[in-house]
Amino acid sequence: MVTKQLQNEHIKTYPADQKGDLLQTVQRTFSVLQLIAEHPQGLSTREISTILRFNISTCYHILNTLQACGYADRHPHSQEYSLGPQIPYLNNAFVQGLAKQHGIAEPADDFLTPLYISVTYLSRIRPILFRLTEQTQEPSYMASWSYGEIVLQAIVEAPQAEKITNLYVGYRGQAHSHALGKVLLAYSEPTFIAKYLEQHPLTPFGPNTIVHRSRFMDELNDIVRQGYSVDREELFPDIYCIAAPVFAPQGQIVAALAISFAPNLLSKRAEWLIGQVIRAANHARAELRLAVT
């Protein structure tokens, strides 16, 4: 059954000054594609039409086009749509693009000055993530800055832990509501934080998202004092995260490492889990020092 909540989640609004520059048909096509991606079990044309509140004939035209181009696939018996074979090609190209980013962003805008991690650094840190997952038996993650946005650069899944399907390499946004983002913001310059929050409002996502500016700034100060951050269901229900900063040899923050886990584990193993994440982040810093010597 399609709920009203699901319908509202896919109604997107755009600033008035942007509407003239956007093609509605293309917007609708990407809305359909995103919806299919969120439902790997497949969706029928009628379900897509109901959720997005599009005319059903419009949905047929969009789905037929996506299928003809290889971006959607239709099951021959159930007639439900899933992602098509061209999607992995796009994903592979995107990941390769992330890996080729180097140095710092263009200096034309001071807002883009935080460092993002280079491919050399990435290759040295990835094995640390595997060890972190092996030790904790929980999924581990790495994020860094990329052109003024916090981007998830790597994920190592834990076989026995439930996969967070809404997270993927390249995920960005909602930095105020997850541990990785809070760490990267906490160690940024105050002027940068202020400008970032102007462009990224403290919107609620999880049950405990911090949405008040003064409380959020207090949270960032606490992170710097203690050396790590905790996300207590701030992005997703029933998911906690711990993250720690990774510093470059020159002292600036270039990345953050994290693990996610069930909420009940924090009361049982908080000190040990925090220690594992901080140790991994310190190990990553040592690896980065070796990379430049």
DSSP string, 169-195: TT-B--GGGSHHHHHHHHTS-HHHHHH
- Of 84, 109, 132, the residue at which a domain comes to its end is 84
Is the model's pLDDT at 142 over the cut of 60? yes
Instruction: Give the number of domains in the chain.
Output: 2
DSSP-derived secondary structure letter, 2 = -
Local confidence band at 97 (pLDDT 50, 70, 90 cut-offs): low
| 169/46 same-domain check | no
CATH value at residue 183: 3.30.450.40
| 194/76 same-domain check | no
- Of 84, 107, 127, the residue at which a domain comes to its end is 84
Is the model's pLDDT at 4 over the cut of 50? no
pLDDT of residue 77: 82
Angle between helices 264-291 and 119-136 (to 10 degrees): 150
Mean pLDDT of the chain: 82
- The pLDDT of 74-89, averaged and rounded, is 83
Is the model's pLDDT at 239 over the cut of 60? yes
By percentage, how much of the chain surpasses pLDDT 70?
81
| 139/230 same-domain check | yes
CATH value at residue 16: 1.10.10.10
pLDDT of residue 88: 72
CA distance 22 to 13: 12
| 51/99 same-domain check | no
Is the model's pLDDT at 107 over the cut of 50? no
CA distance 275 to 266: 12
- The pLDDT of 175-197, averaged and rounded, is 94
Lowest mean pLDDT among 104-113, 219-228, 270-279: 104-113
